[in-house]
Amino acid sequence: MNKLLFHSILCTAICLAGTMLTAQDDTNQQDVDAKFIKGIHNQILTDGECYDWLTELTIDVGARLAGSPGSVKAVEFMELKMNAIGFDKVWTQECKVNYWDRGEKEEVYMTSPRPQRLNALSLGNMIGTNGKVLEAEIIEVQGLDEVDALGEDIVKGKIVFYNRPMDPTQIRTFSAYGGAVDQRVYGASKAAKYGAVAVLVRSMTTRQDDVPHTGTSIYKEGIKQIPAISISTNDANMLSNTLHKEKVSVSIKNNARPLEERTSHSVIGEIKGTEFPNEIILVGGHLDSWDVGAGAHDDGAGCVHSLQVVRTLLELGYKPKRTIRCVMFQNEENGLAGGREYARVSNEKGEYHLAALESDSGGFVPRGFSFEGHADVLKPFYRHVSQWLPLLESYGLQFSTGGSGADIGPLKSQKGLLIGLRPDSQRYFDYHHTDIDRIEAVNKRELELGAAAMTSLIYLIDKYGLQ
């Protein structure tokens, strides 16, 4: 055999051996990762604390609208939990929030053609009737454009009744919510522009029940402010059916009012990375809730999910390469002050968030994650994380591009990967912004599975990075 041929065969053999060793190493590493992810699930499903934390938060603290006494108590609660878990550092971050007070319980009645009390909640940030009874005929519309079409001649002096339901044919209920919520957010100013004296809004849910849903509304500058109240879907259907037969009048009495700006706080804890401490991986939810119910799904679940991520990694003896930061954002519900201030301070410090994962879609069984980011990085980052999908598919998880979370959105300019946990959404809007969003609405195992899914993804991002 000539020397050239021998050398060629030898080189080929060495390359094949190297390829085989690399493939074997990859297989071995996948086995290591699969075993660790299984350990994450085992630990949380047998010894997780997130449901106990959520029980304490929703029962001992309860409702926690930003700036309220409940909000102050929630901040103290989270500081204690983070310190007990063993974060390297725990601190609060001040932010200014617009405080709103509901006042005494709303009194809303159909007065004619027959008297009937309606299940109602004042919408957030809206004014009330100052304790006086406001009574007027109602007109039903399906959306903002219809108010424009009717004009002042028909709208003036009336109560505008927005009755466009969430689309039940949308499989992902967040899409249905997005298709209907404009009437709640902007309906008051649109109606006031044409002389309406108040608005009623159908609750944002696909369920037919007697539970009204609150939520934020926004006044447009320069337009008169009028009361805005949500009514239950059953009452909305009743009013609509009655209007098809005869005129309907409604009376409103409530004391809702925006108050002065207050100081509040987000709560932050971190575990410093051992190799890349300047690369931050954020996991978080928003600590505030509406003033009714106890914010169990929205967003107590996201807060305890995030605590459980750090607790589990510590319990399993994992040493993060990158800094893992847990953030309980303040004021997501009616202002987003916490998320904006967090991003402002972070940018000012020159920080880099390699990834940020937010849980703000409830404590239901996890279905996967959605990813977004700056156009410069989203495609390569998404390709990179997609290679881990085989490790997570057996847990019922899928990946998609799309939205992440309102609180982490302001971090997009840092060109990291923004991620949203995506639980099953079918029941979320049964409880969203209601008095029944309490611990009884949360399934312990489903909540734990969400925390396990989040911990698994954080582990992979921390171990391998995104390149």
Is 3.40.50.2300 the CATH number for 103-255?
A: no
Model-wide pTM > 0.85: yes
Q: In what order do the strands lie in the sheet with 116-117?
A: 116-117, 107-112, 249-253, 134-141, 159-162, 198-202, 228-231, 120-122
**pLDDT-derived band of residue 130, with 50, 70 and 90 as boundaries?**
very high
Q: What is the pLDDT of residue 427?
A: 97
On the question of pLDDT at 1 being above 70, the answer is no
The single-letter code of the amino acid at 83 is N
37-100+260-464 and 103-255 have identical folds: no
Residue 19 pLDDT class (50, 70, 90 cuts): low
Would you kindly state where each structural domain of the chain is located, as residue ranges?
37-100+260-464, 103-255
pLDDT tens, 409-444?
999 999 999 999 999 999 999 999 999 999 999 999
Q: Is 323 exposed, middle or buried (0-12, 13-18, 19+ CB in 10 A)?
A: buried
Helix (H, G, I), strand (E, B) or coil at 446: helix
DSSP state of 106: P
**Given the structure tokens 């002050």, which residue do they identify?**
337
- pLDDT digits over 207-233, tens only? 999 999 999 999 999 999 999 999 999
Packing angle of the helix pair 144-155, 182-192 (nearest 10 deg) = 30
Hey, which CATH number is domain 37-100+260-464, 3.40.50.300, 1.20.900.10, 3.40.50.10490, 3.40.630.10?
A: 3.40.630.10
- The phi and psi torsions of 99 (rounded to 5 degrees) equal -95, 140
Q: State what percent of residues in the chain have pLDDT above 70.
A: 94
| pLDDT tens string 189-203 | 999 999 999 999 999
What would the pLDDT profile of 310-350 be if each residue is shown by its tens digit? 999 999 999 999 999 999 999 999 999 999 999 999 999 99
Examine the pLDDT at 24 and tell me if it is beyond 80.
no
Q: How far apart are CA 157 and CA 152, in angstroms?
A: 9
Q: What integer pLDDT is reported at residue 16 of this predicted model?
A: 53
pLDDT digits (tens, 9 = 90+) for 279-317: 999 999 999 999 999 999 999 999 999 999 999 999 999
